[in-house]
Amino acid sequence: MSKVVVVTSGKGGVGKTTTSASISTGLALKGYKVAVIDFDVGLRNLDLIMGCERRVVYDFVNVVQGEASLKQALIKDKRVPSLFILAASQTRDKDALTKEGVGKVIEDLKADGFDYIVCDSPAGIEKGAQLALYFADEAIIVTNPEVSSVRDSDRILGILQAKSKRAEEGEDPIVEHLVITRYNPARVEAGEMLSVDDVIDLLSVPFLGVIPESEQVLNASNSGLPVILETESDAAEAYEDVVARFLGEEREQRFLTEEKKGLFKKLFGR
Amino acid sequence: MSKVIDLKGSILSLTILNIYSDDIQQVKLEINEKVEQAPSFFSGIPVVIEPKVSLVDPTFLALLVEFLYQLQMIPIGVRSEDPGIQDQAEYAGLALFPPQEHKARHKTVPEELKEDMPSEIGALVIKHNVRSGQQVYAKGRDLIVLGSINPGAEVVADGHVHVFGKARGKIFAGAAGYADAKIFASHLNPEMVCIAGMYQLSEDIDDKAKEGFVEVALKDNKLVFNSKILG
């Protein structure tokens, strides 16, 4: 049974694409057949973060408009088998996507036996974002622990509940999950960031976990590696936890509090 | 290129001439009397004729129009639902105006709202959270929100508003003018509360009112926050 998962946030720059890349990689590592689609037409990002930008021949818009077959456009990941990327076009804009076209692509992916179809939403609440969430069965809401990001996530949650296919056809609502990225316990303690409790209190969405703020995320993105593959980094472990919890596993929350520096670290400055 | 013409809608104020008699001689006499009191006032004014009786004489309007022109008034149209009068108006070259809409509803009487939608009995119940950007309107009745009202959300009711979750958005009770409407909330920290048009912003609300159960009511044109209502 294939599942369509949208990764969305409302606000831009909170880590949707990073999260899409890591979660789809994580699911593929668990043995599922995964396709990840970049809905941010006009501003490709996902192919850069997945390190396949030089292998894009046909893109999502080509497939939607019938200029290429899915088989031609799906890029097979070189590191993880059973992971495929459908890149966004850089030369078109979001108007090139139609509901019927996107629906057809998703149906074809389901027929192809994909277990998870991860839709990386563009920022905003307009057409592009609405198309990315329209066909979703589950949604991963990505939020930074700050007021404007949380507010925008609340807005997109309202749209998920009102304007998705499931809502329009009166089916069971989209299953919602929350991931808080760029979490910095020290700044939370200093009162500069909202705490996990504040965010959950406001959004009241089941919580998958935090991704700690770290340089590793940026470095991994720059080198075209989903950060979940940057083994031994906190961010990779955090994403690994998130994927496990997404699949229903119970795991204790980590990275919520500041790591106390031991004497050794203090002496040697890390 | 400069514009040659332009069509635009506009609301104008016109003089209505109500006619209560179908006797053209009597009507002429009365009009003459009125005009003599202030001839300059009536000179050149556009007039819409509104007959309040049915006009049996098929030449009535034509004669009246002729007479008004003599007095330097400019009859431009007729307002009537009577097909006979409408025919006469067409013949006399007068425009037809739609009959006046029923008077705007008196806003402070909730009974009229109930009449408005007899099928909507009881309160509107919202079981989930009302999220940023969402609006809920309980027209002509109470609103009960079992979830929270998040910042950026708006709930509106013509009756009372009850919030069981956290009330953090904008809350309007008595939106159609019902001044006895109240807001009940267990955690009130709203962006705004408003009853029958009187509103108060978050920063003007006493912090004490933001703890525990509170009732908001309108007294002497002021919002009163009562947290002791449950004793």
Query: Between A and B, how many CB-CB pairs are < 8 A?
Result: 32
pLDDT tens for A104-152 read: 999 999 999 999 999 999 999 999 999 999 999 999 999 999 999 999 9
pLDDT tens for B93-126 read: 888 887 765 443 333 333 333 344 444 578 999 9
pTM above 0.90, yes or no: no
Q: Which residues of B touch A141 (CB under 8 A)?
A: none
pLDDT tens for A169-192 read: 999 999 999 999 999 999 999 999
Distance CA A44, CA A38 (A): 7
Report how far apart, in Å, the C-alpha atoms of A74 and of each of A31, A128, B143 are. 18, 20, 50
pLDDT of residue B111: 36
For testing contact with chain A, the best of B145, B146, B150, B170 (most A CBs within 10 A): B150
pLDDT of residue B217: 95
Q: Which residue has the higher pLDDT, A145 or A94?
A: A145
Residue numbers in chain B where pLDDT is lower than 50: 102-119
Largest CA-CA distance found in chain A, in angstroms, rounded: 62
Pairing assessment for the beta strands B161-167 and B143-145 based on DSSP bridges: parallel
Asked if A246 and A206 touch (Cβ cutoff 8 Å), the reply is: no
pLDDT of residue B231: 62
Cα angle value A74/A80/A86 (rounded, 5°): 20
Asked if A160 and B131 touch (Cβ cutoff 8 Å), the reply is: no
Q: Which residues of A touch B148 (CB under 8 A)?
A: 204
Compare all CA atoms of chain A with the CA of B151 and give the residue at the minimum distance. Answer: A151
Q: Round the average pLDDT of chain A to a whole number and report it.
A: 92
pLDDT of residue B10: 75
Q: Which residue has the higher pLDDT, B165 or A263?
A: B165
For testing contact with chain B, the best of A148, A176, A204, A205 (most B CBs within 10 A): A204
pLDDT of residue B169: 94
Amino acid at B176: A
